Amino acid sequence: MNKFVWKIEYSLTIFAIFTGILFMVPTSFSSKNAIYISRWNTEYNQIEYMFSAMSAQAETKIVKSLKNAKTDDEREKYMIQLVKPYLRLEEPLKSKKYYQYYMNGKKVRKNDFYYFDTLYINRDDNIVGIKDIENKTPDSPVFLMMLDTNGYKKPNIWGRDIFGLNIYKDGNINPIGYGWDVKKLRKDCSKKGTGLSCSYFYRIGGEFVE
């Protein structure tokens, strides 16, 4: 009898340990996505602080050079120099095996607006891209920035582990998707959409739509 009870207790203990492990390991899409979202929110808060700090240094030589830059390439070059120490950027990414995808499965092509010619790896193993963009109105963003929160590791998909933000002339930033209505955000932040606006949708508490 005691041996039978011992076997039951042993089996229950093993089952409890196994169940606990299953809860700790992020095997499902939602649990993995929760980790990506948490990383993005943490990174965004740090980037927001970074730009606040840079705005306070408006009289530095590099900021003046940025404002006086005459070409897109010059502006991009000075912006990279400006954020490099804050984001702890290393050398430009040289691997040709890193590809990005939209949430609907389409590959980010070279001629796409959200394609970055130059990417950087930082000391946290994140992949960062910054590019100068045409500001059609005074209120339009002047730079676009993307961040792959787990670097080379897959899935390398916008709205999963890749997020982005707009940088404005006054130093303010907004996640991609800011200003969109909720219906449009929900549609884009799904398997039928690009996933670009998830950057903002997750910031306001939205969840991935299957």
Work out the pLDDT band at 177, boundaries 50, 70, 90.
Answer: very high
Contact yes or no for 166/174 (Cβ under 8 A): yes
- The predicted model scores a pTM of 0.79
Q: How large is the average pLDDT for residues 33-48?
A: 91
Q: Which of 15-24, 51-60, 64-73, 105-114 has the lowest mean pLDDT?
A: 15-24
CA–chain centroid gap for 166, Å, is 12
The predicted pLDDT at position 108 comes to 97
The residue with tokens 């290393």 is 90
Which phi and psi (to 5°) does residue 143 adopt?
-135, 150
Rounded CA separation 50/57 (Å)? 11
Task: Indicate the Cα dihedral angle 126, 174, 54, 45, nearest 10°.
Answer: -60
Residues 129, 117: Cα–Cα separation, whole Å: 8
Query: Residue 153 forms beta bridges with which residues?
Result: none
